[in-house]
Amino acid sequence: MTPLDPQQAAARTWFESLRDRICAEFEAIEREAGSDASFDYTPWDRIDPSGAPGGGGVRGVMKGKVFEKVGVNVSTVGGTFEGEFAKSINGAGEDPRFSATGISLVAHMANPNVPAVHMNTRFLTTTKRWFGGGADLNPPLPIAEDTDYFHATMKAACDAHDPGYYPRFKEWADTYFYIPHRKVHRGVGGIFYDHLDGDFDADFALTRDVGEAFLTAYPTIVRRRMDMPFDAADMATMLAWRGRYAEFNLVYDRGTSFGLRTGGNVDAILMSLPPVATWA
């Protein structure tokens, strides 16, 4: 892939630094629970369909006492979109060259009282360039206090930039994280945004604040709930809910489709799937 320009390099550096701090915080939670679990990191390289080097990334996975399975991936890839797929990407219809850098995180928890979570932020370049991403909470057993706190933290991050962002991004998440064939939402929502292509510095600042808000909110919720008691019925609810989560990610998630269509690392792309799930 072509060398990164200053904007792309700055975004990549941020995503990698956020990964490091998130993983350190999650490992600290495992230590508090009496576990020595830590992340295993696997670098991977991508070959562009043209045959040229296409960037790559690092897949990080931890399986512990609190985090049954959590993946935190960073990647920076580039090259050329193939065929008709280019027409589905903002700014790539006439020129299929692209570059993308970002962080993607999914955590599935051992205790049904602790919500699963998804967070992803990214910077894409075609003939246009934009930020996208967000974070959403996915509790098998929703607790209003946690839902309200998560949304309030995301709202504060958005409000610091534009008071119109949070209602717009919340509605976008509610629409996006919906499973049409089940007629249910994937979780209790959060924020989602895409094609944010105004001023680079302002949009990058918002994206950083979304990452910081996640790093504040989610570990707080985990620590509140990780020692709560649960029973077999709670576990059955979680496993069934995980099935719905897997359905969304495999059928509707654009990030999954983007990764597979651009030759990304399959294990990194599918790390979002739960370790165990059930279907009726």
In a domain, 257, yes or no: yes
Q: Among residues 118, 151, 181, 195, which one is catalytic? A: 118
Whole-model pTM: value is 0.95
Asked whether the predicted pLDDT for residue 233 surpasses 90, the reply is: yes
In a domain, 138, yes or no: yes
Q: How many domains does the chain have?
A: 1
Q: Is 118 among the catalytic positions? A: yes
Instruction: Let me know if 143 is exposed, middle or buried by CB neighbors in 10 A (0-12, 13-18, 19+).
Output: middle
- Condensed to tens digits (0 to 9), the pLDDT of residues 147-189 reads 999 999 999 999 999 999 999 999 999 999 999 999 999 999 9
In a domain, 278, yes or no: no
The DSSP secondary-structure symbol of 231 reads -
Taking the C-alpha atoms of residue 33 and residue 219, their distance in angstroms, rounded to an integer, is 13
In a domain, 114, yes or no: yes
Can you say how many angstroms the Cα of residue 189 is from the centroid of all Cα atoms in its chain?
13
- By residue range, what is the domain housing residue 60? 6-272
Taking the C-alpha atoms of residue 202 and residue 119, their distance in angstroms, rounded to an integer, is 20
In a domain, 280, yes or no: no
- Condensed to tens digits (0 to 9), the pLDDT of residues 249-259 reads 999 998 899 88
